[in-house]
Amino acid sequence: MRQSPLIFHTFSDRQACVQALSSELAAQLQVALQVKPRARLLLPGGSGPQLLLPELASAALDWSRVDLSATDERWVPASDSASNWRLLQQGLPQAACLDPRQGATPALAAQAWGAQLSTWLPLDAVLLGMGEDGHFASLFARMPGLPAALDSCAETACLLAQAPSEPRLRLSTNLALLTATRWLGLLVFGAAKRELLDAVLADTPASRTLPVHALIWQTEHPVQVYYAP
């Protein structure tokens, strides 16, 4: 079996984890701002960023020069409490936060959002979360079009996705776009997710059906895993 391109950063508690992750993300963005006018960052929604965003917002960084967007979004109004864009925009209000809803229909929005993100490439940092079902962004096991979405050699794009729970309709970046970055991270909390990740690292047959398996075993970039129980 080939060597896993994965680097673990393990912490005893979640606050220490997000503090260290915030420092790393800020450092990556600062490096980018030293050599170009703007830095580009993708962040996930969910409970992890709710702890991370206050730490990031306090970083000594010129956020007015940072372009930010979500790794994925629910097809709900931007003002909805389930909106990832709303979470990021409120958490980092000084950043230029791009709303994935760039069209009147989900298909048009995904196409236009993907076109805009393509002008940001290569990204400076991408942080992902992971569900206990092994999904990341809004790339869920057994959803229509998943093999193409997980093809790391595909054209970078955003696409329509289907979640197993409401709100089901999602917009998501594909794996090729997420790996078009200088730095790739995964924030993981809890023993159940750690067990799942260990199974993926062991390359067990069952783990090969999980979307996160494609993320971990892609060869473009090492995945920096920030983990706390």
Q: CATH number of the domain that 149 lies in? A: 3.40.50.1360
Q: In which domain, by residue range, is 216 found?
A: 8-228
Residue type, 8: F
180 in a structural domain: yes
94 in a structural domain: yes
Q: What tens digit of pLDDT does each residue of 131-185 get?
A: 999 999 999 999 999 999 999 999 999 999 999 999 999 999 999 999 999 999 9
92 in a structural domain: yes
> What is the DSSP code string of 150-214?
T-TTSPP-EEEEE-SSSS-EEEEE-HHHHTSBS-EEEEEESHHHHHHHHHHHTT-TGGGGSHHHH
Q: What tens digit of pLDDT does each residue of 9-35 get?
A: 999 999 999 999 999 999 999 999 999
Which residues, in sequence order, are bridge partners of residue 152? none
The position carrying tokens 């048009």 is 108
2 in a structural domain: no
Given a contact cutoff of 8 angstroms between Cβ atoms, the answer to whether 126 and 71 are in contact is yes
What pTM does this model have?
A: 0.96
166 in a structural domain: yes
What is the arrangement of strands in the sheet containing 72-74, beginning at the earlier edge strand?
Answer: 72-74, 169-173, 158-162
Tell me the pLDDT of the chain averaged across its residues.
Answer: 95
3 in a structural domain: no
Nearest Cα residue to 158 out of 125, 129, 187, 120 = 120
What's the domain count of the chain? 1
Q: Cα–Cα–Cα angle for 101, 76, 154, nearest 5°?
A: 50
The dihedral formed by the CA atoms of 26, 31, 37 and 43, expressed in degrees to the nearest 10: -40
1 in a structural domain: no
